[in-house]
Amino acid sequence: MNLENVILSPVVTEKSQELQSIGERMGKRTVKYTFKVHPDANKTLVKQALKKMYNVVPSAVNIAVFRGKMKKFRNMPSQRPHYKKAVVTFVDGANLDFAKV
């Protein structure tokens, strides 16, 4: 798998923004960023992709798999897509520029 295709997009929600600032409030220098990643990606690929794209090494990577829900539109069932989400922890308080993604 190509390392440029591992990280699809950053997740910008209220919860992910709260994770970025929670380390600062607790007196720690940890920062957590959330990314949507390729469904075939694993923790080591995410670490390698972040090192190549941003020149920073994360201290921890947690990955969650989300199955797509069944929804109905005008009584026609459809399947939402499956996706993976990676929560990446940096100890040194790294700031990432999302314009590179």
**CATH code where residue 56 lies:** 3.30.70.330
Domain contains 14:
yes
> Can you tell me the distance from the alpha carbon of 68 to that of 60, in angstroms, rounded to the nearest whole number?
26
Number of folded domains that form the chain: 1
Note down the domain range covering 49. 3-92
**Coil vs helix vs strand at 80:** coil
What are the structure tokens assigned to 56, written together?
Answer: 């920073």
* Segment 38-76, tens digit of pLDDT: 999 999 999 999 999 888 899 999 999 999 999 999 999
Distance CA 32, CA 98 (A): 14
User: Are residues 34 and 16 in contact, defined by beta-carbon separation less than 8 angstroms?
Assistant: yes
Return the number of other C-beta atoms located less than 10 Å from residue 85's C-beta: 15
State both tokens at 28: 């720690």
Q: What is the mean pLDDT of the chain?
A: 87
What's the confidence (pLDDT) of residue 94?
75
Tell me if 29 is assigned to some domain. Answer: yes
pLDDT score for 60: 93
